[in-house]
Amino acid sequence: MSAIAFRRQASLWAVAMVALAIELAGCQPEKSPDVSPPPGKTPTEVPSDDRRELVVAISIDIPPYVMNQTTSGLEIDVLHEALPEYKLRFLQMSYAELQTAIQDDKSDVSAGVHRTDDGGIYSRGFVSFANYAITKKSATQKIDNIADLQGHVVLTWEDADE
């Protein structure tokens, strides 16, 4: 499981969070996600450029989590809903680079990191992955353990073996 390292659980938790955000948005007047004012101010009092910019380190495009060079995706939506008072500028990088983006002064926030004892401030996980073996029914391949994959082409995500 990974977190947002202020820092990533998407399966059901992120879907629930997005559904909650959509539900809550339906209870409020419509507003653009890029012009949300700080608490206590109306949209007309705060121009969108008054918001503090946060540089957010995020993974390369991996649909449905991050898509179209960070213009959409579950992670993008969750970050915008969680941080409406900030103007987010996304910086895409590999998972390995995400782990040290803050320490290396590449970003203010890093999405998709694993918790460590580095003194950082971490959110709860908001994206998680599960391992599944999928094959064509016509292949009649029985997969009960990792050894059954020997000799086959396997597609996975970075660091899936950890």
For residue 57, count other CB atoms closer than 10 A to its CB. Answer: 26
Over residues 143-157, the pLDDT tens digits come to 888 888 888 888 777
Single-letter amino acid code for the residue at 121: I
Q: What are phi and psi of 38, to 5 degrees?
A: -65, 160
What is the dihedral sign for C-alpha 119, 38, 112, 95?
A: negative
pTM of the complete model beyond 0.75: no
115 belongs to a structural domain: yes
What domain count does the chain have? Answer: 1
144 belongs to a structural domain: no
61 belongs to a structural domain: yes
What is the span of the domain harbouring residue 10? Answer: 2-130
148 belongs to a structural domain: no
74 belongs to a structural domain: yes
Over residues 52-110, the pLDDT tens digits come to 999 999 999 988 999 999 999 999 999 999 999 999 999 999 988 998 999 999 999 99
CATH of the domain at 11: 3.40.190
Distance CA 132, CA 130 (A): 6
Distance CA 42, CA 157 (A): 43
Distance CA 65, CA 13 (A): 13
152 belongs to a structural domain: no
159 belongs to a structural domain: no
